[in-house]
Amino acid sequence: MGLIQREIEKAGIATVGVSIVREFTEKVQPPRSIYLKWPFGHPLGEPGNIKQQRAVVLEAFRALYSITTPGEIVDLPFRWRRHDYEGYEEPDALALGRKE
């Protein structure tokens, strides 16, 4: 994915990758990525766990706007099947596009 991300970025479109194998992401060095220590085949979360999947997607959007160093990887704190998403605070959609 990192190689494809770079080509898309050359066209002026920002990208963010979702990684579950940190070592590969570090070697490929895509423009920006989030990392989850989760099992293969489930980069966005458990089937049917809407709160978990929504949190991952929103954190990917947050990373899209907050990562300023090429190749940076943001480690997400979510734990597979042990994280309680009831207390998760979603980012303000309007604030995502603003520079702090």
- Asked whether residue 98 is domain-assigned, the answer is no
- Asked whether residue 92 is domain-assigned, the answer is no
- Asked whether residue 70 is domain-assigned, the answer is yes
> What domain range includes position 66?
2-79
Q: Predicted confidence band at 94 (pLDDT cuts at 50, 70, 90)? A: low
- Asked whether residue 12 is domain-assigned, the answer is yes
**In residues, how long is the chain?**
100
pLDDT value at residue 87 = 85
Structural domains counted in the chain: 1
| Residues 6 or more apart in contact with residue 47 via CB below 8 angstroms | none
pLDDT value at residue 97 = 64
On the question of pLDDT at 86 being above 70, the answer is yes
- Asked whether residue 100 is domain-assigned, the answer is no
Distance CA 5, CA 41 (A): 20
Question: What stretches of the chain adopt beta strand conformation (E)?
Answer: 17-19, 32-35, 72-75
The DSSP bridge partners found for residue 35 are: 19, 75
pTM: 0.85
